[in-house]
Amino acid sequence: MFDLFRKKKKKNVIILLIDGARVDRLEKFTGFRSVLEKGSLFSNMVTYAPYTIASVHAVMSGMYGSKNGVDSYYSYFDFKKNKCKTLTEYLHENGYYTKADAINKLVLQKDGFDELLIHDEHKDNLLERHKKMLAEMKEIEKKGKNFFLYLHYSNIHTAIVDNVIKKFDDFSSEYFNNREKYIKEYDTYFAKAENYLQGILGEITKLGFLESSIVVIFSDHGIGTGERIGEKVYGSFCYDYTIKTFASFIGEGFPKKEFTAQTRTIDIMPTLLDVLGIKEDKKYNKMQGKSLLPIINGKERESRAAFSETGGLGGPWPSPKKPNVHSLRFNGWKLIVNDNPGTKELYNLEEDPGEENNLIKKEKEKANKLRSLMKKISRS
């Protein structure tokens, strides 16, 4: 199907990031899910980092932070520009007009962007703001030029910061003893994200972009709602409630189908380059992500090993300058390595999806194999 797709003119690319959207809410918010089901939905995707800066850099480079340089909250300026080529740079070099609306200046590298805007997360109406940007892109398209538009929906993040992060620490009994209250509050934030997503897709449809564009909708990470004392929301640990996420590719050629094999957010960029027929630049480091087209076309069915890591701003062992918690998720198992306390955790995710029963002492051979694979992947 995609060979025919490539013979036509290049497609525009629209990326919608729904910051902090938990994948488990797709079962509850059917309107949100119905938007994702308009394309190829990868509902078992794993992010590199459970916080935005390193997560988005991994998406935009197709590489883990251990390779692109952005592996911590404070490492934005360590991005290896001479060794890593971003999606924006690829598209700009191929004649695309490139524009983004981000939450702050640390999320995206500015190289390759014609316009990199920062919205006011407290004041701007993102639905109306982004509708206007889509209308502007329609004018670009009318001039015969392709465009790349990155839109960052930040309202879940903003609400969590204002109502949880600024009010409690990672060990606050007031917060952890009132989980139900904060779960309900999170759901109100997600409901607003659902309204935004439906409105934006409606505008994309009205402007005719579903025929001329590839639309990618994804979440950079999940958000905790008090599951683990020591992490009130995200960034300190690598448990599934923050590292499991999703992505949907909507547009001509993408079947309306859900794919449940494990994939990674680093696979998003190589997929787009593959569909657009843009070859990887060999002058730069090779991407660690792989195109998802073999999965879409039924040629690959196995789950892909997913590496994640973080270093918290808070939590039991803060490490904002370098990652100190690492995980590998593969074939139904999860290994977590905590550097500072020098501990390891191993979970059988099929039998223990809540990651409550640490099998590190009982399954030493399994843990050693995952540890070896983790080292190989993070360094490859």
Beta-carbon contacts of 129 under 8 Å, excluding residues fewer than 6 positions away, are 101, 119
**Amino acid 380: pLDDT:** 72
Q: Regarding predicted confidence, which is higher, 1 or 340?
A: 340
Three-state DSSP at 201 gives helix
**Amino acid 92: pLDDT:** 98
**Amino acid 378: pLDDT:** 81
On the question of pLDDT at 340 being above 50, the answer is yes
Partners of residue 150 on adjacent β-strands: 15, 100
Average pLDDT for residues 333-354, to the nearest whole number?
Answer: 97
Q: Among 71, 92, 70, 90, which residue's Cα sits nearest to residue 80?
A: 70
On the question of pLDDT at 6 being above 80, the answer is no
**Amino acid 379: pLDDT:** 74
**Amino acid 185: pLDDT:** 98
**Amino acid 9: pLDDT:** 62
Q: In 10 A of CB 94, how many CB atoms?
A: 14
Partners of residue 263 on adjacent β-strands: 45
Summarize pLDDT for 71-116 with one digit per residue, the tens: 999 999 999 999 999 999 999 999 999 999 999 999 999 999 999 9
Summarize pLDDT for 220-247 with one digit per residue, the tens: 999 999 999 999 999 999 999 999 999 9
Please give the CATH number for the structural domain made up of 2-296. 3.40.720.10
Six-digit token string for 208: 């005719």
Residue with tokens 């004041």: 123
On the question of pLDDT at 1 being above 80, the answer is no
Summarize pLDDT for 137-180 with one digit per residue, the tens: 999 999 999 999 999 999 999 999 999 999 999 999 999 999 99
Arch. (CATH architecture) of 306-379: 2-Layer Sandwich (3.30)
Domain boundaries, the chain: 2-296, 306-379
Q: Measuring CA to CA, how many Å separate 380 from each of 123, 286, 306, 343?
A: 43, 9, 13, 24
Distance (Å, whole) CA 374 – CA 380: 10
Distance (Å, whole) CA 193 – CA 244: 18
Beta-carbon contacts of 232 under 8 Å, excluding residues fewer than 6 positions away, are 164, 165, 168, 169, 170, 172, 175, 176, 224, 226
**Amino acid 4: pLDDT:** 41
